[in-house]
Every structure is written in structure tokens, then in C-alpha cells.
Amino acid sequence: MDTNATGVLLELKGISLAKTAEGVLEVDKSSSGREVNTNDTAIVIRTAARQQFVIEFPYGMRVRLNAQSTLRYPLTQGDSTHVFIEGEELIDIPSQLFGGVMVIQTDNGKISSDYGKFELASYAQFTRAAVSHGEVCFRSEIKQKAAASMFG
């Protein structure tokens, strides 16, 4: 991605990705009718070494994606906002602005929250969340994967 570009960077299947003059990436519904037809199922944002992006989703929810991290935003969303994350992030979900639940899938667990601010470190070996305020529900899938590999 061109780090100097601003405005709408991408429109896929009713979702737009735009960059503000302040450098914030905004994910929102697209209404321009200029969407590209594609077989892609998600928008993938990766940061390089010493690079960060702030991604703003509808309702004011923000994710700061730290260096060498990946965020995958499925183009099809339901009542909740779903993202898949690997690496280190700071997530901020303002309670007065957000209308649903944020669901974050990692390699070894699932985190959900409807408000709060928390840091997340997610790698193949572990997922760790440190909550500043709010409520976060974490569901580990490590035992289920181990059991599946033992019996499968």
C-alpha cells in the first residue's frame, strides 16, 4: 500500500477502505457503485517492520495494528464485526458509539467485546490480552486443537 496515498484505496463487495490525511484507515460500507468484482473474501492489512496503522471501523471502533502484524476483515459481516488478527494490536471500542459485538479470531482463540480498551498479542503459540477497561471474553481453542490432532 502506498503510504502517501489518501482517499478511497479499495472498494470490494460493498466495503470501502479509505485513508484519511491523518493516516487512519477507515473501513466502511461502500455506496459508490464502483466496487471491483473479485473472488477475494477479505481485506487483508499487513504492517512491515517499524510500521503501524490505525484502522477505524463503523461505530468508532479502532484497532492500532503494530509492526509486523496482520488484520483480516471478511467482506461478509453479520450483526457483529469479525476480524482475524495475528501480531500485536491495541483495540478501542467506545461503548457509547458501538452497536454490536467485536469478535476477534486468533490462531488459538476467540475474543469478544462490546466495549473497552485492551492490548492483544496473538501468535501461533499464544494469545494474551491486557484489559485497560471494559469487558473482554476470551475462549481458548488450544485444547480442542490438541484433542483433534490426538484423535484425528
pLDDT tens over the chain, length 152 residues:
455 676 777 676 667 677 778 777 777 776 655 555 556 677 788 888 998 988 888 777 889 999 999 888 877 766 677 889 999 999 998 875 555 788 889 988 899 888 899 999 999 888 888 999 988 888 887 655 444 444 44
| Per-residue exposure over 119-135, b if at least 16 CB sit within 10 Å of its own CB, e if not | ebbbeeeebebeeeebe
**HSE-up of residue 138 (Cα within 13 Å, Cβ side):** 17
Q: What is the CA radius of gyration of the chain?
A: 16
